[in-house]
Structure 1
Amino acid sequence: MTDLKLYSMPSSGNSYKVRLLLALLGRTVDTIDVEYEWESLTRAKAEGRLPFGKAPVLELGDGTLLPESNAILFWLGQGTRFVPLGALEQARMLSWMFWEQNQHEGVIAVRAALLKYPHRKAQATPERLAELLTSGHALLKVMEDHLSGRDWLVGGHVSLADLCLYAYTHTADTHGGFDLAPFPALRDWLGRIAALDGYVGLDA
């Protein structure tokens, strides 16, 4: 039994990062597919379950709706090993999570979306794809440089920052066409996350 409902897009990294944290915490959730199940999407919109018009949204037992993936991560992570204890470390964690949304996702995830979704095909011009490829490799280099000589993005333990950035980074090559070969520290970091107890993949 669970008192949580997750309105989720199965192919979305933003929805996946929430499902991953829930799995790592051993928490169960009723998942409602609002990507491939048209009836579920229509009902969710009609009932006001998607406050910002998109998934993911976590519905709590009392009916409270919590949108935005990283806000959901922060709420679920409170009091767990995925949130550092110190205020400075928490702030550093949040800085990576903010960077993921305003820098990383807008390039890494967008290039993958242009290549995958038919309704985005008109935007997938050679010039745009090339621009995103260059920008994306620069962003991955930022992560590579930071992870060189350390296991995790913040402190000595896995945190929400790692899970947040893992979501779109781990498919950057297969979905977005980015070359991860030049980034050994980043690839090792991806492997450490995939080895966590309770880990589930994007398609789980």
Structure 2
Amino acid sequence: MTVYGDEKSGNCYKIKLTLALLKIDYQWFDIDIMAGGTQTKAFLAKNPNGKLPVIELDDGRVLAESNAIIGYLAAGSALIPGDEFNKALMYQWLFFEQYSHEPCIAVARFIKLYQGMPVERQAEFERLQIQGDKVLKLLDNQLVGQAFMIGEQFSLADIALYAYTHVAHEGGFDLSLYPNIQQWLANIESQAGFVSMLD
């Protein structure tokens, strides 16, 4: 399969990390979002929403939305709990990641890392710091006394939330304030097959 992505994007990194953990072969096609790479006619034919990541299967079928992609890739693997309630908890955190976590942690990082902190987004950035700290505190509390987001099983919930949490400092957040998150990051990084964002 082919993965269309941006190597610094957390949403794209979810795909890369899932593929590595599952030992699935793929080819990577880098798209420069800042140069309008997701708005070309060729790319929009694959994803009319004009966003990364996208995977294209050998048979030509295309799938977008990072959490949908990792769900497809991990089907039947240990990354998805067999217990139905735990599976629902995993989905709970996947939805949380996209609706509550990514809109502040990832956007703050985009403003600072990709855009270089433009003056017109400074007030927004400061608001995102407040929201992001609330999200990180919630995660830190969730991880009290457990190795992973849904207990002792490493799952897609951890991959999805790890992607932007581990680089939250690039968006101005101080991860040293969250000891449980720090331990959780280390737990994920010790998984067999783990690869870093820029590997």
Q: Does the TM-score normalized on the shorter chain lie above 0.5?
A: yes
Take 1:18 and 1:78, find their aligned partners in 2: how far apart are those partners?
13
Cα distance between partner residues in 2 of 1:179 and 1:7: 31
Match of 2:152 in 1: 156
Structure 2 letter corresponding to 1:156: E
- C-alpha change, 1:123 and 1:71, in structure 2 (3 Å) is farther
More moved, 109-118 vs 76-85: 109-118
Describe how 1:115-194 pairs up with structure 2 within 5 A: 115-118=112-115, 121-125=118-122, 127-173=123-169, 175-194=170-189
- TM-score (normalizing by structure 2): 0.93
Structure 2 runs not aligned, ≥5 long = none
Question: The residue matched to 1:32 in structure 2 has which SS?
Answer: strand
Deviations along 1:120-140, whole A, 9 cap, x unmatched? Answer: 725421x32221111111100
Structure 1: unaligned runs, 5 residues or longer: none
Deviations 1:90-114 (A, max 9, x none): 1110010000001100000000111
How many positions carry a matched residue from both structures?
198
Name the SS of the counterpart of 1:6 in structure 2. strand
Q: CA RMSD in A?
A: 1.9
- 1:14: which partner in 2? 11
Closer, same or farther: CA 120–176 of 1 in aligned 2, 3 Å:
closer
Alignment of 1:1-204 (within 5 A): 4-35=1-32, 42=40, 44-45=42-43, 48-118=45-115, 121-125=118-122, 127-173=123-169, 175-204=170-199
Distance in 2 of aligned mates of 1:111 and 1:180: 14
Amino-acid identity (%): 37
Q: Which moved more, 1:111-120 or 1:138-147?
A: 111-120
